[in-house]
Amino acid sequence: MGSLDGKGAIVPGAAGEGNMGQVIARQLAKEGAKVAVGGRGKDRMAGIAREIGGIALDCDITDREQVFAAVRDAKAEFGHIDIGVNATGWGLLKSTTETSEADLDRMLAIQFKGPFFFMQALIGAMDNTAGGRGGSIIQISSATATIMLEMHSAYMGTKAGTDHVVRTVANEYGKVGIRANSISPGVTETPMAGDSLKYEAVRDAFTKEYPLGRYGTCEDIAHAVVWLARDECFMSGQNLQVNGGLTLRRNPTGEELFSVMPPEAIAHLTS
């Protein structure tokens, strides 16, 4: 028996092969939940949906109508939505002065407006006074919403802002059975990180800042998601720093990172 038997879940941000959203979806399914995976183009998620015995849904997080439709469809399929985990994101690295209006619009759409839409839709689906049965909303945030990383201001600002929306949802909708929390990974081996972590010097620059001696994995985050999703979790409105103690220290400075990165890795990160 799994700790999430009988639960219905939806996980936007699962279109990338092997990304954090897919790892989270697998772990939720392993614990007994029925899981809908969402992202741009449901055909891209057909494999993961089959693997976990779930469904794939079109869910472009920047499209309000699609987000609401995906939540409605998942609820219709499972009978209820008890868990919503937003794992979407865009890891732009640009200085504040080089961040264009187009960059900013895209970042706001993906990391502020989209999560806001998702929480709105989940509130309607979970409200235990309106046909829901309560539930757990989980937003994947970032350690950089708290500590510094150079050339990351648009990313950091939107993550921090969304953390405050999570707190507001927790405060306002606890009375209808909804808990809302966020999780802050540090640097994690995901497709978003690209090839930068394949360089030993880059890995070492990060690793020495982690009290637990390593940076994180998607599995670390997935296990935290399961805990927040369980009925036994008496927590709401909180940000969990699931990053091996990184926020006790710091990220490497830009100078430290760029001094050990080859030009092609820098080009990838800043493109």
Q: How far apart are CA 77 and CA 75, in angstroms?
A: 5
- Nearest Cα neighbor of 28 from 46, 8, 48, 43 is 8
**Residues taking part in catalysis:** 155
Beta carbons of 205 and 257 less than 8 angstroms apart: yes
For residue 137, the SS3 value is: strand
Where are any strands of DSSP class E within the chain? 8-12, 34-39, 55-58, 83-86, 135-140, 178-183, 239-240
Tokens of 21: 């959203």
Q: How far apart are CA 25 and CA 4, in angstroms?
A: 12
